Structure 1
Amino acid sequence: MTRFRNVGLFLVLAALWGSAFVAIRAGLEYFPPVLFAALRYDVAGVLMLAYAVATVDRWRPRDRGELLLVAVGATLLIAAYHAFLFVGQQHATAAAAAIVVSLSPVLTTGFARALLPADALSPVGVAGLLVGLAGVAVIARPDPSNLLATDSVAILLVFCAAVAFALGSVLTRTLEASLPIETLEAWSMLGGAALLHVVSIALGEPLEPSAWIHPEAVGALAYLALGASAIGFLLYFDLLERLGAVEINMVSYVAPVFTAITGWLYLGEVIDAATVVGFALIAVGFVLVKRRALSRELRHGWRRLSSD
């Protein structure tokens, strides 16, 4: 029964995070991109902080190391990731954005190996990283005669979002500080929201509150803040403890399926062949990079099934 529960929650998480890309694309019709991301984490950060206060003993950072940990999370995992993603999604389909972001686990492994030279990627791992990058190139389809074409730049920005998230994930694990994950997420969200507001002001994004009260705008913001962020991260914490990092990473490869379905139903977006090929290449890259961990998980799962 526990296994079915985990599978069910996994699919719910994939649906929430996959459809979030559609909500972003819908909300961008009413909000400037960076301000939209900031408002999302204004709400989500307050909710997550309330949850941390209610559930963990250490609901705030206490020393310089923990503050540095929060600063990295706020800067890379929240502010940089979402600024690039939301700006890029103005001209990228929801499905293409979700697929490019699914490269994050591959990039995370690459950064981890780069920062720890004693644990360098094997030739097969390097090949996996290159295959994943090739998948991004297939989706972007850059025109050599016009490398600054809007669609190509949009995919490049989403790729930069994946890079920021991967680097932030590695740095938060290498810093010698520990915080409950709920506390880290809460303060990272609030700090990231503050940084996003600063960037929004610096970019001179327009403030048009009259557009924000449109039902679709309110729905998109509420879905991102409550569904994809607050509920999504709570499910992620629960599944991370139950499944482990390798299995939970697979949500990155299920989420684009939900993105494609909801994008087609709600936005009328059609998935072309290049996007499908790009997704396949990124998935193959993930398997090559994570082949040992996946093999261990498969053996462990087979032993559990055999013992039942």
Structure 2
Amino acid sequence: MRYRNLILFLVLAVLWGSAFMAIKVGVEYFPPVLFAALRYDIAGVLMLGYAWYVLDDPVPRTRSEWHLVAIGAVFLIGAYHALLFIGETDPGVTSATAAIVVSLSPVLTTAFARLMLPSERLGTLGLSGLILGFLGVIVLARPNPSNLFASDVVATFLIFIAALSFALGSVLTRRSDATLPIESLEAWSMLGGAVLMHAASVGLGESLQAITITTEAILALGYLSVFASAIGFLIYFSLLDRLGPIEINLVSYTAPPVAAVTGFLALGEHITLTTIAGFGVVMVGFALIKRNAIRQELPIFDSEHAGPADD
């Protein structure tokens, strides 16, 4: 199919971009960390079933493989989603704002890689891109010096810490010597992250009794678990094999516009000039810090990158 990569890329952008809106809906009915834990209870079971289907042995067997799973569970699933869901409970943080802050992850990942791999240095343009990424977050948060601890500023900062956690986890997994298949890594990380978030939920005093069961609540949980997580990651794996990590990571920059549109349509969230400006600054930062990789890899749907299935 000639346009398979493009179609799958756009579907993934819609699934992951609209997830921010679904989180915003769900935290109205669920305690945030418990909501994130329940999402990955379901998604983890689905992903483990898929891993068992496509792999001969999806169970980690060595200490290094379980260490890799632990990194994924702590940083990529547990800390990232707990902080993201808490941040989105604030009414001052829109779906688009959350998506833009999270879209910093590829930039932050590059920065962590440079810090943790001394042989790779961050040049002047790359450093400028990193600084612009941080400035984009400041634009979005709009901190008032007289009230730096306003709820929306704190919430935006928590989402930024979530993006930091995801970026650090990405670098730590790449540094690992373990060679666990990605399907197995994702499945066990989801389940491990869910366990950690359940523990954090209990520690925060959240309870099942605080859940309000409504049609919207069930739809939000189902959408995030099945579509944004299980189906979304299956599409991600498919595109990762054919396009490579640089190209597929560009989906991070299609998610904010989707989040803005779905947030507007479903929740009536306004797309402000501040949101657009913040996204623009983050995009410029991304272009600077990833300029060489983008130059080498684009256009991302060039026929030379397509696999046999595209013929």
Q: TM-score, normalised by structure 2?
A: 0.95
Separation of aligned partners in 2, 1:87 and 1:124:
34
1:301 Cα deviation from its structure 2 partner: 6.7
1:209 Cα deviation from its structure 2 partner: 6.4
Task: Write the deviation string for residues 46-79 of structure 1: whole angstroms up to 9, x where unpaired.
Answer: 0000000010123011010000000000000000
> What does residue range 69-84 of structure 1 map to in structure 2 within 5 Å?
69-84=68-83
1:118 Cα deviation from its structure 2 partner: 1.0
Task: Write the deviation string for residues 67-124 of structure 1: whole angstroms up to 9, x where unpaired.
Answer: 0000000000000000110000011111100010000000000000100011011111
- Structure 1: gaps spanning 5 or more residues: none
1:189 Cα deviation from its structure 2 partner: 0.2
Q: Which residue of 2 aligns with 1:9?
A: 8
Q: Which residue of 1 aligns with 2:202?
A: 201
Q: TM-score, normalised by structure 1?
A: 0.96
Q: Which residue of 2 aligns with 1:146?
A: 147
- Structure 2: gaps spanning 5 or more residues: 306-310
Task: State the percentage of identical aligned residues.
Answer: 60
Query: Structure 1 pair 276/299, CA: closer, same or farther in 2 (3 Å)?
Result: closer
> What does residue range 30-179 of structure 1 map to in structure 2 within 5 Å?
30-91=29-90, 92-179=93-180
Q: Which residue of 1 aligns with 2:267?
A: 267
CA contact (8 A) 1:58 1:179 kept: no
Separation of aligned partners in 1, 2:56 and 2:130:
40
Q: Which residue of 2 aligns with 1:276?
A: 276
- SS of residue in 1 equivalent to 2:298: helix
> What does residue range 177-196 of structure 1 map to in structure 2 within 5 Å?
177-196=178-197
Separation of aligned partners in 2, 1:210 and 1:24:
14
- SS of residue in 2 equivalent to 1:118: coil
Please give the root-mean-square deviation of Cα atoms over the aligned residues, in Å.
1.6
Query: Structure 1 pair 103/191, CA: closer, same or farther in 2 (3 Å)?
Result: same
Separation of aligned partners in 2, 1:203 and 1:12:
35
Q: Which residue of 1 aligns with 2:238?
A: 238
CA contact (8 A) 1:58 1:180 kept: no
Task: Write the deviation string for residues 225-272 of structure 1: whole angstroms up to 9, x where unpaired.
Answer: 000000000000000111111111110111111111110000000011
CA contact (8 A) 2:5 2:301 kept: no
- SS of residue in 2 equivalent to 1:169: helix
- SS of residue in 2 equivalent to 1:145: coil
Separation of aligned partners in 2, 1:190 and 1:302:
36
Separation of aligned partners in 2, 1:120 and 1:88:
33
1:200 Cα deviation from its structure 2 partner: 0.2
Query: Structure 1 pair 118/277, CA: closer, same or farther in 2 (3 Å)?
Result: same
Q: Which residue of 1 aligns with 2:248?
A: 248
Amino acid at match of 2:263: G
Separation of aligned partners in 2, 1:87 and 1:300:
34
Q: Which residue of 2 aligns with 1:223?
A: 223
CA contact (8 A) 2:31 2:211 kept: no
1:302 Cα deviation from its structure 2 partner: 6.8
Separation of aligned partners in 2, 1:206 and 1:56:
36
Separation of aligned partners in 2, 1:210 and 1:292:
48
Q: Could you say which structure has the higher helix fraction?
A: 1
Separation of aligned partners in 1, 2:254 and 2:300:
21
Separation of aligned partners in 2, 1:263 and 1:299:
29
1:138 Cα deviation from its structure 2 partner: 0.2
Query: Structure 1 pair 70/288, CA: closer, same or farther in 2 (3 Å)?
Result: same
Amino acid at match of 1:204: G
